[in-house]
Chains A and B, each alone.
Chain A
């Protein structure tokens, strides 16, 4: 039972990590709380389903989801966020909420308000280890998340653009003086940020075999709790915070779920965190 819960929480936590990573990256560079990133989550689920229906290839559909949603992210960046950077930070925040609502309603208009199925056939089957059963979809979620987060970590800590990203996150003016082309860094940021959230949406759609226009609602709020816990704009902190929330939700949810809904736990954690450590569990000191 314990092991089963543990696996369960890792699956939940890894999806949270992937979902919150986009907002973390955007906040890290632009200091904008990007609620619209959770829109990419729902968009990704629909794009993933459409391409899967078209090609029947799961791998292709996930990659295409990442790229198409990433391109949408770049468009939002170029046409909206970059133009609002010199405004008070409340302006891009409200804008991103508006974009999020727009995306949800656009999906509703295009696809109808009801949930649709996302029946993906996986090329492998689940595992049964004595008392622990791991369905194939869970394995898919864990593997895809691990691969994407590893690629991100590798880019951030081992490549030129990663150094440039971290430098830009700390001090944009100085990064420019180092010859860093901020436009490229920010574009890559949105490509990966929106792409990751979209893949997370696709994975959740596959896992629950259900997608709907409003599926980004809860992730939008929960993402906020996670990126604050993770130290706002700290990618490693976000992964840890996501896993912690996954664990707490799964284990506590089993015991106190009868009076506190599972989805509320992240926010209780957020409130406690803001009271005792407002910079988050894994605050970096560049804020």
Chain B
């Protein structure tokens, strides 16, 4: 087990967005967080990434308590994330986007910050991520000029360039065409081959069922089910949450 959340609770004002949610992400596993709108998926995601701190409960990464750490510290520990709406640095080239991520270990030192960013070996390693995600032709294009599918790939390439142990994907298939989503599922299995554990929030049931080893289902801030895609598909509570109760 590489990442674990224990009894996470989060209130915004009087509103409880999460109520005692626990999860475990195994080594080299793909875990999906699913649930209807407003279930608390994104809140959980943002708590793990350090955007919010939980009201109660804790997050452990490789056995270390990382609750309440800042986003840049969490990224440095080895938890990389993508965003629900593609957040490429639009005015920078694809290559510069990746180079920004490759600097992750050096942004905290006053001296190392001034290291050159475009040394040939750094650029080479950036190109390897660009090639991995099939973006070579676009390497010197501004990220803002890419199609949505390519921008998502860029985000994943950039997250991989952080050399993470855990990759957090926030609705990676939102807005993608059927073919692009298909390609994405292939990508996930390739990443699994590279010993990266993946946790993804996904709205698209079809994608979640196919891409994930295990699913955690949230509804109204509580965990209502957990299991393999097969088990989840047949869980009456889940069906009820998505489709409503039978009369």
**CA of A286 to CA of B99, assembled, Å:** 19
Do the beta carbons of A159 and B117 come within 8 Å of each other?
yes
Do the beta carbons of B75 and A158 come within 8 Å of each other?
no
* A256–chain B nearest beta-carbon distance, Å: 37
- Encoded as 1 (CB less than 8 Å from any A CB) or 0, chain B from 87 to 114 comes to 1011110001001110111111010111
Select the residue from A158, A176, A177, A184 with max chain B CB neighbours within 10 A.
A177
Q: Kindly state whether residue B165 has any CB partner on chain A within 8 Å.
A: no
- Known contacts A158-B118, A160-B114, A177-B81; is A167 also within 8 Å of B105 by CB? no
Q: Which residues of chain A in 160-209 are interfacial with respect to chain B, using CB atoms and an 8 Å cutoff?
A: 160-164, 166-167, 170-171, 173-182, 184, 188
Q: How large is the interface on A (under 10, 10 to 19, 20 to 34, 35 or more residues)?
A: 20 to 34
Partner of A285, one of B83, B107, B110, B144: B144
Do the beta carbons of A286 and B91 come within 8 Å of each other?
yes
Do the beta carbons of B92 and A166 come within 8 Å of each other?
yes
Q: Kindly state whether residue A55 has any CB partner on chain B within 8 Å.
A: no
Partner of B104, one of A159, A174, A179, A284: A179
Do the beta carbons of A184 and B110 come within 8 Å of each other?
yes
Q: How large is the interface on B (under 10, 10 to 19, 20 to 34, 35 or more residues)?
A: 35 or more
B168 and chain A: residue at smallest CB distance: A177
A residues at B contact (CB < 8 Å):
155, 158-164, 166-167, 170-171, 173-182, 184, 188, 284-286
Q: Kindly state whether residue B70 has any CB partner on chain A within 8 Å.
A: yes
Do the beta carbons of B75 and A160 come within 8 Å of each other?
no
Partner of A159, one of B81, B87, B90, B115: B115
B91 neighbours in A (Cβ, 8 Å): 166, 170, 284-286
Q: Kindly state whether residue B80 has any CB partner on chain A within 8 Å.
A: yes
Do the beta carbons of A173 and B162 come within 8 Å of each other?
no
Do the beta carbons of B81 and A179 come within 8 Å of each other?
no
**CA of A173 to CA of B115, assembled, Å:** 23
B89 neighbours in A (Cβ, 8 Å): 166-167, 170-171, 174-175
* A185–chain B nearest beta-carbon distance, Å: 8
- Known contacts A160-B106, A163-B99; is A179 also within 8 Å of B162 by CB? yes
Q: Using A178-B75, A184-B110 as known contacts, list a sample of 8 further A-B pairs with CB atoms less than 8 Å apart, ordered by residue number in A.
A: A159-B116, A161-B113, A163-B92, A171-B87, A176-B72, A177-B80, A179-B76, A184-B113
* A189–chain B nearest beta-carbon distance, Å: 12
A–B pairs, 11, beta carbons within 8 Å: A160-B106, A160-B112, A163-B92, A163-B117, A166-B96, A166-B100, A174-B83, A174-B87, A177-B71, A178-B72, A184-B110
B112 neighbours in A (Cβ, 8 Å): 160
Select the residue from B51, B72, B115, B162 with max chain A CB neighbours within 10 A.
B72
- Known contacts A163-B103, A167-B89, A286-B91; is A179 also within 8 Å of B72 by CB? yes
Do the beta carbons of A160 and B115 come within 8 Å of each other?
yes
* A115–chain B nearest beta-carbon distance, Å: 39
Q: Kindly state whether residue B223 has any CB partner on chain A within 8 Å.
A: no
**CA of A284 to CA of B142, assembled, Å:** 12
Do the beta carbons of B103 and A179 come within 8 Å of each other?
yes
Partner of A163, one of B75, B90, B100: B100
Q: Kindly state whether residue B49 has any CB partner on chain A within 8 Å.
A: yes
Do the beta carbons of B72 and A285 come within 8 Å of each other?
no
* A237–chain B nearest beta-carbon distance, Å: 12
Do the beta carbons of A164 and B100 come within 8 Å of each other?
yes
B81 neighbours in A (Cβ, 8 Å): 177
**CA of A176 to CA of B83, assembled, Å:** 12
Q: Kindly state whether residue B158 has any CB partner on chain A within 8 Å.
A: yes
* A270–chain B nearest beta-carbon distance, Å: 24
B144 neighbours in A (Cβ, 8 Å): 285-286
A161 neighbours in B (Cβ, 8 Å): 107, 113-114
- Encoded as 1 (CB less than 8 Å from any A CB) or 0, chain B from 107 to 144 comes to 11010111111100000000000000000000000001
A175 neighbours in B (Cβ, 8 Å): 89, 100
**CA of A170 to CA of B92, assembled, Å:** 9
Do the beta carbons of A160 and B72 come within 8 Å of each other?
no
* B146–chain A nearest beta-carbon distance, Å: 13
- Known contacts A171-B89, A179-B104, A179-B107; is A164 also within 8 Å of B113 by CB? yes
**CA of A179 to CA of B81, assembled, Å:** 11
